[in-house]
Amino acid sequence: MTSAEEASRPFAGLSDVSIPDIPVEGDISLPVASSARDDEFSTLDEPVKETILRDLRAVANKFVHVLYPKRSSVLLRDWDLWGPLLLCVTLALLLQGGAADSNDQGGPQFAEVFVIIWFGSIIITLNSKLLGGTLSFFQSLCVLGYCIMPLTVAMVVCRIVLYTASGKVSFAVRLVVVTASFGWSTFASTAFLADSQPSNRRGLVVYPVFLFYFVIGWMILTFSP
Amino acid sequence: EHFLFPYIQLDFEEAANLMDANRDVVTISIGDEDLKAKRQGPAGGFPPDVADDDPLGSDDKTEVRLLAGQKKSAPFWTFEYYQAFFDVETHHVKERIIGSMLPWPGKNFIQVYLRKNPDLYGPFWICTTLVFACAISGNISTFLHKFGSSGYKYTPEFQKVTIAATAIFTYAWLVPLGLWGFLLWRNNKILNLVSYSFMEIICVYGYSLSVYIPAVVLWIIQVEWLRWCFMVVALCVSGSVLVTTFWPAVRDDNPRVTIAVIAIILLLNALLAVGCKLEENIVSDARIWSLISSSLCLCYVVFSYIYILKTYLFMSKVSYLH
């Protein structure tokens, strides 16, 4: 049996092999540290504060990564949706309390903000997956949600500005702040999302993200107490 | 095992038209060895050694493209089925948008730009952008209009988004459905060489809306005659894209049917434009919208009734003659 024939038929050679009587030696032992490792991973015995703090630390770590967007895989590897939920609820609460709340000509309701953010994120994720992206569904949701953080910060700043000043000055300040944070959000999320697409489709994936943050920025800018 | 060759397109017009009518023409079977080599090619390019294995014998210059009817071989409840409709690149979408803004008589949008590769990306995102552009520009123009008047309190008028979304998505997705059904019905009666798939019609309608986006943004300008000017220009451009596309499909038909179809296409387009314009002046007046939608339905019903009546008379005349 030549080697070429053997190579062309995978696993075909195994049927012809006869195993000679070679005694098998050696010892099999479990690594000693395995029992200690099991204790480390069991989190049933730790105090609740530890559990919550661990998750909070992970979320805060991701916030820091959004603030200084560089190529790191923290957001992608250990995705979680706590951060986006926190940001979404904060943003929706801050967008309430406008004077136009009573009549229906007013700003977005709480449910509308929620729907826009989550539904928008889901549609953008579906879009990037349909275009052949390599990120998983929840990783994309995680990235898009975390990158709302600059806009939430801008909302807080806008509310402070609206309490202290009013008129053209406040509008100019708010415009600058919202534009800067919108640019930051788009840049941060593009840094994570664009790598997962082939280069000939990057524009197609970036545009919906741009539109999404533009709409959220518009909602923040037009908030009037 | 069949492997559907990507991106092979014959360059003759009649062959394209014939293949339109007769979709189950070509499947190319290729063994497994070629599969791995050919799959490397990304969506845009084509592997250089396509010509060697091509049983049609095309030379290096021609590209052979998948026929629209066979590309979507996955069942419609799988993800891959919809992935086939997103098989475009950035420059494809840009070319299509520019082509829809610059219509040329004789340049059929479907044949020139789509080339058997309709996508859902363009129509969906153009509609979404138009929805938000309408709402935002309406808000800004209301604000500028009433800025000086006393007692005016700025409101974001967020409910406009819902109204605009309903109107635009209805126009861009239900009207193509009706038109496609109608063309299918007529195709059974009159042999047409040109027939369009449902996705292609949705594509044309979606891209024809792209000229409204700059028009809507320019509506912020507070000069009334200029706004009507922009609206008329957008209407003409968008209408001519639709007419040049659908003219080859209906010109072989009974002339009254032809005129009726073209008239309905243009009428619905005009209704959309006028509706968008009215929406900005009249702040979220639900009665206007119900009026527009009911008149739309009424037009549709009346025209279809007239059409059915004429067809019945025509058929009875034909049977009488025989």
Residue B72: per-residue pLDDT:
52
Q: Is residue A87 part of a domain?
A: yes
Identity of the highest mean pLDDT range in B206-215, B225-234, B302-311: B206-215
Q: What integer best gives the mean pLDDT of chain A?
A: 80
DSSP A13: G
pLDDT at position B318 over 90: no
Query: Searching chain A, which residue's CA lies closest to the CA of residue B80?
Result: A130
Within a domain: residue A101?
yes
Task: Please tell me if residue B22 touches chain A, with a CB cutoff of 8 Å.
Answer: no
CA–CA separation, A51 and A55 (whole Å): 7
Range of the domain at A98: 47-221
Tokens 């080859």 correspond to what residue? B248
Comparing CA positions, the residue from B270, B250, B272, B245 lying closest to residue B261 is: B250
What is the per-residue pLDDT across A152-183, written as a single tens digit (0 to 9) for each? 999 999 988 888 877 788 888 999 999 999 99
**Chain B hits for A214, Cβ within 8 Å:** 132
Q: Does residue A30 lie within any of the structural domains?
A: no
**pLDDT at res. A71:** 61
User: B12-41: buried (b, 16+ CB within 10 Å) or exposed (e) per residue?
Assistant: eeeebbebbeeeeebeeebeeebeeebeee
**A 205-224 residues with CB < 8 A to B:** 207-208, 211, 214-215, 218-219, 222-224
What number is the ipTM of this complex? Answer: 0.74
- Arithmetic mean of pLDDT, B250-261: 76
Highest-scoring range by mean pLDDT, A136-145, B35-44, B243-252, B264-273: A136-145
Write down the pLDDT at residue A163: 85
Q: Answer yes or no: is pLDDT of B124 > 80.
A: yes
* Residue A41 placed within a domain: no
- For chain B positions 228-287, those within 8 Å of chain A (CB to CB) are 283-284
A147 secondary structure, DSSP code = T
pLDDT in tens, B144-159: 877 767 666 777 777 7
3-state secondary structure of B29: strand
Region B68-83: mean pLDDT is: 68
Contact residues, chain B, for A203 at CB < 8 Å: 90, 93
What pLDDT score does B314 carry? 75
CA gap B127, B212 in Å, rounded = 10
Residue of A105, A130, A214 with shortest CB distance to B83: A130
- Window from A22-26, A215-219, B224-228, B293-297 with minimum mean pLDDT: B293-297
Q: Is B132 on the interface with A (CB under 8 A)?
A: yes
pLDDT of residue B183: 83
Categorize the per-residue pLDDT at B32 as very low, low, confident or very high, splitting at 50, 70 and 90.
Answer: very low
Q: Which residue of A has its CA nearest to B156?
A: A107
Is A67 an 8 Å CB contact of chain B?
no
Per the CB < 8 Å rule, is A208 touching B154? no
In a domain, A94, yes or no: yes
**Distance from C-alpha of A25 to C-alpha of B65, rounded to nearest angstrom:** 62
Which residues in chain B have their CB less than 8 angstroms from residue A211's CB?
Answer: 125, 128-129, 132
Dihedral sign, CA of A134, A74, A77, A75?
Answer: negative
Give yes or no for B95 touching A (CB within 8 A).
no
Average pLDDT over residues B59-81: 56
What does the pLDDT look like over A80-126, one tens digit per residue?
888 899 999 999 888 887 655 455 556 677 888 888 899 999 999 99
Asked if residue A31 is part of any domain, the answer here is no
User: Which tops the pLDDT comparison, A211 or B67?
Assistant: A211
Of A158-167, B191-200, B299-308, the one with minimum mean pLDDT is B299-308
Domain count within chain A: 1
Non-local CB neighbours of B92 within 8 Å, separated by 6+ positions: B44, B117, B119
- Cβ–Cβ below 8 Å for B125 and A211: yes
In a domain, A22, yes or no: no
* Residue A89 placed within a domain: yes
pTM across the whole model: 0.70
Structure confidence at residue A208 as a pLDDT band (50, 70, 90): very high
Burial of B176 (0-12, 13-18, 19+ CB in 10 A): buried
Q: Which of chain B's residues have a Cβ under 8 Å away from the Cβ of A201?
A: 43, 88-90
Query: Is the Cβ–Cβ distance between A139 and A185 less than 8 Å?
Result: no
Phi and psi, residue B2, nearest 5°: -100, 135
